[in-house]
Structure 1
Amino acid sequence: MKKSTSALLLLATALAAGLLWLLTSRAATPDAYPAVAGALRQARPADVESITCYPLLPDRRGRPARPFQLRTAATIAPLLRALRQLRPVAVSQPAFSPLVETTVMVRLRPALADAWHLHSGTVIWRLARAAEGDVALRAFSPVVCQSPALNRQVRQLRDSVDAQRSP
């Protein structure tokens, strides 16, 4: 009797661990770049819930830069056009040393994320300067893209937000 109880307990534990692994491994897997790029190419401003930018460097006056969020179609459209221009670039990993300036989170509406089979409706980019120029590093992925238009747009938005809060 004791052997069958411990065997059932072991089986239940193994099943629970397997189920937990299945649930978490799918969520932890980053989406493939072609799916993300396809979703961004297809997206209209109405398909994007918000774009949030977290500047990591201080503003021009040396004050900590503040995060800002874009929610209207008019403010999202220019950044969405810049996101469509991202192109993967090969970098020399040992020599690649980017200075990350801003983290950009793009929240897609669930319908678009589901249509492209994305695990998450949030796509995270880290905008940086490197010897290769302005680049965007996709979070949780080895993908590096050239991003001069996106970096320029985000810098302009950051500067306009800083100018609005100037005393």
Structure 2
Amino acid sequence: MWQLVCVALSCDLAVAAAYSSFRRSADSAGRRQYQVQHGSCSYTFLLPEADGCRPPASAYAPSAVQRDAPLDYDDSVQRLQALESIMENNTQWLLKLESYIQDNMKKEMVEIQQNAVQNQTAVMLEIGTNLLNQTAEQTRKLTDVEAQVSNEPEHGPPGIESDNKT
């Protein structure tokens, strides 16, 4: 326990010694410092000089403890409103484009379906024509065979003699 207290005290002494030498070097450099004390710890922040910058009084609200936004609030609001207007305009254009695409897709789908029906009809007609031609050919062959059978003598085909002699 005593060792911990000794370590804490030595840390405080080291920080104090470093701070005093650091403060002297910072003061000699002409920079502003901001010191925060939190319990036994001390934090020092070096702030840069405002060489060539706007004076702090006009850049930030004097009553605010810390402020990130400059006093150009009106400019920021105007830019924000302009961006909102642009976004609304872009949204309207996107909606119009979406509507146009959907309308064209419907028309194209109808055309594709009509073409598909026409193509299917043409294929069906071709298949039907082929079947009809094959049927006609088979019918012609069958008719030829029937004609040959009906024109043959009773005893069988020519050149073959029958065993029936009555």
TM class, shorter-chain normalised?
A: under 0.3
Higher helix share: 2
Higher relative contact order (CA 8 A, sep 6+): 1
